[in-house]
């Protein structure tokens, strides 16, 4: 722009302000993502949007997005170099802020939010023509002391929610997931001419607790971001070798329920059990009886799991407590099986309480503390993604996916409020090649699975994960 630039007109300033407001939206979204509250929206949209919000977003990711006037040679001018402003642009900026000050607006050293009374909903402002794909990376760690011996092993410590001192480790590969997300976002920014639509990039907390996705939705994720047509996520897999992926159709990860069962008794002295109602004995009876729910009462063709993971009761040797608590984990794929297991747990436990002579006001209590739905890969999406993965990684590095797992995920719940949303999940290999060879030969599982103190991600996985995730997104958002 020439040095003798005329003062900006009111219309020019209004355009400048609208672009600035979009950047403010993106910045606020990024701040909220860092706080674990929401997502960042990244669109390949109109030219004006690409030159403002997209460049601001790309700069925060460390991506250079250059914009210049049509016909300019670009590249050598100060305005074309990332992080630099030409003198003329600096004058425009100063004039703009002086004009804002003359209107009595708020402090000039901060970014004001857009005027919501006159702005369309954020989701519609940020959505571009075409499909909207949500790409999630979970980022929470685990209360595990790392024992990998790697030079970059975690030495962090902290307290669990129960107040127990513990090491802190990314024992499930979520650090790799976040690295993939950042790398994939950079790739998508650099290749924005090859796709159209909207990419919603989500950094999610509390996946291990099964409530991160649901909490984000409850916290107002929509309509802060557009409703996606597809929710996509990838996860480390300790069987597939680094540089490879697995993707299968249909059932992938089970739904899960965490239930606390409180069995009430009547406390007493350990020397006179006949004068009490022992909740520990009733708990033992319940634990054994629960095993028949899966083996004798649920259709054997229906994949289900019932695990009692903890029993909490009593304090010392010679006191019979007045209650005990069992912590149950249920896994399922069909809603019918879920409802059957919950009903049967109550039937069994109530019957034991009655059989031990408990009155009506001391019957067991039940609390569902966590719930997630199953992951069911859409067949059509797998058909689109698989050829793209083969092209990116090679036929020998794309596996059909492991058989359906009884482990669980929660990313799919980001799409729960969206009617007709489709789900896609990918397994990204993190192992040495010999791990797969042993698995194929004898069915031997990896020595160190996810959540083990010695679990680690082979470093070639990082580049391969970015390449695979970007290939899937480019295929789903292809022009």
Going from the C-alpha of 446 to that of each of 145, 238, 443, 454, the distances in angstroms are 20, 7, 10, 11
CB 393: neighbour CB atoms within 10 A? Answer: 18
Our count of domains for the chain comes to 3
Tokens of 171: 């024992």
**Residue 71: CB partners within 8 Å, gap ≥ 6?**
none
Name the least confident of 41-55, 332-346, 384-398, 454-468: 41-55
Domain with residue 191: its CATH number is 3.40.630.10
Q: At what angle do helices 87-102 and 10-34 cross, to 10 degrees?
A: 90
CB 355: neighbour CB atoms within 10 A? Answer: 10
> How distant is the alpha carbon of residue 381 from its chain centre?
19
Q: What stretch of H or E contains 392? A: helix 379-393
Mean pLDDT across 425-430: 98
Q: Supply the pTM of this predicted model.
A: 0.74
**Residue 35: CB partners within 8 Å, gap ≥ 6?**
none
Is pLDDT at 4 greater than 50 in this prediction? no
Distance CA 455, CA 471 (A): 27
Domain boundary pick from 109, 126, 143:
126
Residues 180 and 462 sit within 8 Å (Cβ to Cβ): yes
- Residue 362 domain-assigned (yes or no): yes
Concatenated DSSP letters for 44-90?
E--HHHIIIIIHHHHHHHT-------TT---SSSGGGSTT---HHHH
Distance CA 54, CA 67 (A): 11
Instruction: Report residue 16's pLDDT band, with 50, 70 and 90 as the boundaries.
Output: very low
Distance CA 354, CA 310 (A): 23
Most confidently predicted of 37-41, 89-93, 235-239: 235-239
Mean pLDDT across 436-451: 94
Is there a single domain that holds both residue 248 and residue 260?
Answer: no
Distance CA 244, CA 431 (A): 9
Rg for the chain (alpha carbons), in Å? Answer: 28
Domain range for 76 is 10-126
Confidence at residue 124, expressed as pLDDT on a 0 to 100 scale: 59
Domain boundary pick from 126, 147, 171:
126
- Residue 139 domain-assigned (yes or no): yes
Is pLDDT at 276 greater than 90 in this prediction? yes
Residues 306 and 330 sit within 8 Å (Cβ to Cβ): yes
- Residue 272 domain-assigned (yes or no): yes
Look at 140 and 48; give whichever has higher pLDDT. Answer: 140
Residues 134 and 39 sit within 8 Å (Cβ to Cβ): yes
Is there a single domain that holds both residue 203 and residue 140?
Answer: yes
User: Token match 């063709």: residue?
Assistant: 301
Mean pLDDT across 282-295: 98
Closest CA to 200 of 380, 45, 19: 45
Confidence at residue 83, expressed as pLDDT on a 0 to 100 scale: 41
- Residue 244 domain-assigned (yes or no): yes
pLDDT tens sequence across 191-242: 999 999 999 999 999 999 889 999 999 999 998 999 999 999 999 999 999 9
Residues 438 and 444 sit within 8 Å (Cβ to Cβ): yes
Domain with residue 338: its CATH number is 3.30.70.360
Residues 352 and 278 sit within 8 Å (Cβ to Cβ): no
Q: At what angle do helices 335-355 and 279-292 cross, to 10 degrees?
A: 140
Is there a single domain that holds both residue 174 and residue 243?
Answer: yes
- Residue 121 domain-assigned (yes or no): yes
Look at 89 and 398; give whichever has higher pLDDT. Answer: 398
Mean pLDDT across 424-444: 95
Is there a single domain that holds both residue 208 and residue 248?
Answer: yes
Domain boundary pick from 328, 349, 372:
372
């Amino acid at each position: 722009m020439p040095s003798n630039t005329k003062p900006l007109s009111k219309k020019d300033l209004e355009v400048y302000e609208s672009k600035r407001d979009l950047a403010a939206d993106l910045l606020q979204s990024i701040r909220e993502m860092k706080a674990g509250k929401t997502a960042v929206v990244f669109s390949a949209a109109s030219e004006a949007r690409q030159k403002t919000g997209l460049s601001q977003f790309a700069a925060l990711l460390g991506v250079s997005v250059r914009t210049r006037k049509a016909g300019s040679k670009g590249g050598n001018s100060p305005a074309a170099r990332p992080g630099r402003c030409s003198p003329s642009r600096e004058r425009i900026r100063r004039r703009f802020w002086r004009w804002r000050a003359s209107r009595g607006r708020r402090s000039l050293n901060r970014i004001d939010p857009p005027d919501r009374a006159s702005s369309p909903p954020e989701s519609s402002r940020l959505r571009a023509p075409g499909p909207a794909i949500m790409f999630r990376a979970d980022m929470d760690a685990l209360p595990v002391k790392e024992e990998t011996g790697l030079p970059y092993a975690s030495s962090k410590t902290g307290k669990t929610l129960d107040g127990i001192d513990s090491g802190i480790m990314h024992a499930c590969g979520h650090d790799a997931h976040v690295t993939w997300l950042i790398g994939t976002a950079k790739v998508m920014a650099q290749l924005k001419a090859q796709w159209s639509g909207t990419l919603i990039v989500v950094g999610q907390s509390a996946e291990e607790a099964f409530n991160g996705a649901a909490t984000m939705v409850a916290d107002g994720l929509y309509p802060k971001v557009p409703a996606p047509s597809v929710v996509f996520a990838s996860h480390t897999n300790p069987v597939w070798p680094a540089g490879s992926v697995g993707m299968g159709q249909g059932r992938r990860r089970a739904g899960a329920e965490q239930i606390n069962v409180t069995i009430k008794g009547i406390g007493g002295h350990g020397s006179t059990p006949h004068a009490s109602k022992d909740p520990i004995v009733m708990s033992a009876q319940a634990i054994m009886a629960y095993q028949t729910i899966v083996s004798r009462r649920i259709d054997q063709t229906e994949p289900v799991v019932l695990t009692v993971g903890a029993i909490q009761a009593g304090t010392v040797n010679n006191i019979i407590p007045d209650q005990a608590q069992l912590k149950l984990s249920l896994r399922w794929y069909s809603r019918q099986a879920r409802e059957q297991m919950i009903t049967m747990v109550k039937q069994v436990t109530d019957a034991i309480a009655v059989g031990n002579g408990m009155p009506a006001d001391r019957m067991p209590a039940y609390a569902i503390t966590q719930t997630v739905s199953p992951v069911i890969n859409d067949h059509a999406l797998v058909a689109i993604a698989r050829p793209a993965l083969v092209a990116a990684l090679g036929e020998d590095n794309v596996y059909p996916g492991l058989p359906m797992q009884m482990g669980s995920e929660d990313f799919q719940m980001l799409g729960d409020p969206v009617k007709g949303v489709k789900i896609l999940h990918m397994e990204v290999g993190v192992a040495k090649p010999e791990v797969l060879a042993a698995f194929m030969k004898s069915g031997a599982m990896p020595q160190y699975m996810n959540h083990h103190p010695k679990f680690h991600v082979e470093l070639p996985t990082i580049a391969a994960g970015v390449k695979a995730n970007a290939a899937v997104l480019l295929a789903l958002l292809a022009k």
